[in-house]
Amino acid sequence: MPQQAGWSLIVPLKPLARAKSRLVAVAAGEGRAGLVLAFAEDTVAAALACPAVRDVAVVTDDPVAGRRLARLGAQVVPDVARGGLNAALAHGAEVVRRRRGPAAVAAVGADLPALRPAELARVLAAAAAHPRAFVADAAGVGTTVLTAREEAALAPAFEGASRARHRDSGAVELALPGVESVRQDVDTGADLRRALALGVGPRTASVVRRVTVSGVSPG
């Protein structure tokens, strides 16, 4: 029986109150939580608009985020592993493949508020040529996307210097031009300024306008 086309994306999201602690200088408390949720919503909306994506599974235990992202069309997977980011991603991939059978999966950060569906489609098209592949973040240290075709284990090694770890694990680095929105994750105020310069999604832009953001403007 032929497999259905399209990638299944796995998007991990910490409980909002604990996520993105380095953004505290930009927006504190509920303002930071609102930014984190807006990043995730814009990321998931862009992913679901990508023609190469069949579905998106968000791994989270945050009830508010789960409800909001489910309304966008994401499947919500409880983070039963509770072993950190990589355990959540491995669990999400396992759940997707248990439901779908063999499936091409891609781990995508929830902090890509400038993500463009066409740029993500280019990345996934290039990734299809390799059992495992990845895209480095804009800083050249971390990873924003890790892919695994149907026959390959995802084997995520995110956090910190994950670019080197994914390369050393045998994943092929995709050095594509013109995919800045796929590479621009947001951990700091400087990252947010760069994402805003690229053009963020409507939810992030709205939250940036509402919260007190030091040195950051939605343009």
| Binding-site residue positions for phosphoenolpyruvate | 143, 162
> What's the structural domain count of the chain?
1
Q: Which amino acid, one-letter code, is at 190?
A: A
- Predicted TM-score (pTM) of the model is 0.93
Do residues 182 and 123 lie in contact, with contact meaning Cβ atoms separated by under 8 Å? yes
160 lies in a domain? yes
Does residue 215 lie in a domain region?
Answer: no
Tell me whether residue 124 is in a domain: yes
Q: Each residue of 79-118: pLDDT tens digit?
A: 987 789 999 999 999 999 999 899 999 999 999 999 999 9
At residue 4, the pLDDT reads 43
Q: Is residue 219 part of a domain?
A: no
- Domain span including residue 125: 7-210
- Specify if 2 maps to a domain: no
**How far is Cα 168 from Cα 17, in angstroms, rounded to an integer?**
33
- Which residues are documented as binding site? 143, 162
When pLDDT is cut at 50, 70 and 90, the band that residue 32 belongs to is confident
The pLDDT tens digits for 158-209 are: 999 999 999 999 999 999 999 999 999 999 999 999 999 999 999 999 999 8
For residue 172, what is the domain's CATH number?
A: 3.90.550.10
For residue 78, being part of any structural domain is answered with: yes
Sheet of strand 7-12, all strands in order from the earlier edge strand to the far edge = 75-77, 53-59, 7-12, 105-108, 143-148, 132-136, 172-173
CA distance 212 to 42: 20
